[in-house]
Amino acid sequence: MNTGGDRAELDATGFSCDSSLHSDVCVSNEPVRIHMRSLTVYLSPNQSLPPINRTVHPYARKEDSTALSLVARVEILRGVNNKPPPPCDVTHDVSAVIFSSGGFIGNLFHEFNEIIIPLFLTTHHFQSHLRFIVTDFQAWWVSKYHRILTHLSHHDVINPAEDGKVHCFQGAVIGLKYHDNLACNTSDIPGGYSMNDFRRFLRDSFSLKIKNVAEIEKPVLRLISRPKTRVFLNENEIVGLAMELGFQVVTATPNQMSNLDKFSSEINSCSVLLGVHGAGLTNAVFMPEGAVLLQVVPLGLEWPSTFYYAQTVGEMNVRYLEYRINPEESSLLAKYGPDHPVITDPQSIHRQGYYAARAVYVDGQNLKLDLLRFRETLEQALKLIGGSSP
């Protein structure tokens, strides 16, 4: 069981932890007892080794205090006060993997970035011989990702708060390994997995049929329609323009996107995914190779648009285009005027802090695209997927 940490320490003591900026991952390759009600992991007693009393937040965003406030702590003990661990109520012949479904769930980017991809990295090499213990248990989340969870483990998920018993396992991993934003780095342990490996796993898990965009006969553009914030104010005209260029256009609402079993297949059958910067663009993980993610970058959101999507989708073999709006295409211009720092100096707003900037650029902005200028970007997308405008 090698998911990171000090291999020599793990071999010598049966226990090791790996700490990075984003996550803590602790591994025991010896039997453990886990008290579900108190979220306490008791390591195998060994009087020749020093006591251990450690806590871990099993969520891969430990640098974010807001996220961690939504994640229960797991305590790891060995030889503390010389108290023997409690007796087993249930015994398993596999290892346990403990992670949280707390944090920023409800946001697709964070669900994939901090849970699903780290879960794949940490557990795929177990070949399903493990059992998940999901702290901060949310039944809707477990249902949403049922296909992924069942492809990583042959066993039902344990809700520790509901169970409350002492379970004995052959070993345990507490926490999930994190590489980078929407990333699997082949040079990092465990496993040497790439984003292509992860996307192959997704195709298997969701029974996705289309591997390459060339398999799609007529170009399909799926437009993420936002009803509340960062709204396309001229969405109907954008749809009409795309159809004029030869795209079959399908809009997707947040309600449709919440059904991952169905929506993953719909994304897998599209040639271009178009949307304003936001969590919905994470659906690019389901796109066929050679397809195009077209991100519309609102005013003041250039950095997150680049950091979270522009720099990540290439490793998925998905092509990337962006359309950066001008101030005239933002609703902020009419609200604040052309000389306000919101328009002329977005960095000054960002320096006021995340929540101040979010209120303006994320939650307070809608967009009306310049169709003549945007037409050029759509034509470029069409060329990238091998089509031509009429």
Kindly report the CATH number assigned to the domain that includes residue 350: 3.40.50
Asked whether residue 220 is domain-assigned, the answer is yes
The verdict on 107 and 230 lying in the same domain is: no
Of 158, 177, 206, which residue sits at a domain end?
A: 206
The verdict on 290 and 262 lying in the same domain is: yes
Asked whether residue 288 is domain-assigned, the answer is yes
The verdict on 218 and 102 lying in the same domain is: no
The verdict on 182 and 288 lying in the same domain is: no
Mean pLDDT of 183-190: 81
The total number of structural domains that make up the chain:
2
Spatial distance between the Cα atoms of 128 and 168, rounded to a whole number of angstroms: 18
pLDDT category at 5 given cuts 50, 70, 90 is low
Spatial distance between the Cα atoms of 67 and 89, rounded to a whole number of angstroms: 33
Q: What is the pLDDT of residues 199-213, one digit of tens each?
A: 999 999 999 999 999
Asked whether residue 1 is domain-assigned, the answer is no
Of 175, 206, 237, which residue sits at a domain end?
A: 206
pTM, 2 dp: 0.95
Q: Which domain, by its residues, includes 380?
A: 213-384
The verdict on 81 and 136 lying in the same domain is: yes
Main-chain dihedrals φ then ψ at residue 293, nearest 5 degrees: -95, 120
The verdict on 112 and 228 lying in the same domain is: no
Sign of the dihedral defined by the CA atoms of residues 373, 377, 378, 383, in that order? positive
pLDDT category at 12 given cuts 50, 70, 90 is confident
The verdict on 326 and 223 lying in the same domain is: yes
Asked whether residue 39 is domain-assigned, the answer is yes
> pLDDT at residue 236 above 80?
yes
Of 206, 233, 251, which residue sits at a domain end?
A: 206
The verdict on 176 and 244 lying in the same domain is: no
Spatial distance between the Cα atoms of 166 and 90, rounded to a whole number of angstroms: 7
- pLDDT for 119 equals 98
The verdict on 180 and 284 lying in the same domain is: no
Spatial distance between the Cα atoms of 35 and 38, rounded to a whole number of angstroms: 6
- pLDDT for 390 equals 57
